[in-house]
Amino acid sequence: MVDVFSTEEIRSTQLSFNPDEWIGKGNTWSTMLPWHVQLAFADIQSVPAWVLNFIPQPQVSVSDLQAITLPSSTSVSIMLLPSASSPTIFINPAIPDNLLDHPIFFGGKAALAAFDKVGLEQAWLSGCNSIGFAGHSDWYPLWV
């Protein structure tokens, strides 16, 4: 089950969450953690508004949607690598990377399963700042 938090709940988290008290301190993720910690994780997983501009909107016609050139499906490793390194991609809205050029979005069910296996919540609590695919040099922000 995925918890859905309102924008107001996430914003209130920014006022009370101190990463120095929680990140990399040996804590174990659970739904029993204080809400401000859980909301802080939800906050880092929020897709930035500037990225939403690259996703086709619901009002786009089928013919316009079919006109979008998509890359062929890419074979990606199903192993995700958590990293304490900062993300190297999708970090600057002024220089947007083409979302459709990245294998993370075309990994299909294998990529989704890998996200489940990596335990992203615990990785974040242990100090993870980005994730990557084995065999690829890009480090993605945790919102992907």
19: in domain: yes
67: in domain: no
pLDDT, the chain, mean: 74
71: in domain: no
140: in domain: no
The verdict on pTM exceeding 0.85 is no
Q: Name the range with the highest mean pLDDT among 3-12, 28-37, 64-73, 104-113.
A: 28-37
State how far the Cα of 89 lies from the Cα of 73, in Å rounded to an integer: 20
105: in domain: yes
**What's the confidence (pLDDT) of residue 99?**
61
DSSP symbol at 98 = -
Q: Which residues touch 127 (CB under 8 Å, ≥6 apart)?
A: 23, 24, 84
Expressed as residue numbers, the domain containing 36 is: 7-56+78-133
Work out the average pLDDT over 34-62: 78
The total domain count for the chain is: 1
Quick check: 70 pLDDT over 60?
Answer: no
Work out the average pLDDT over 86-109: 68
**What's the confidence (pLDDT) of residue 59?**
77
Question: Between residues 9 and 19, which one has the greater pLDDT?
Answer: 19
Quick check: 76 pLDDT over 50?
Answer: no
142: in domain: no
82: in domain: yes
68: in domain: no
Containing 112, the helix (H) or strand (E) segment is helix 108-118
Q: What pairs with residue 131 in β-bridges? A: 82, 140
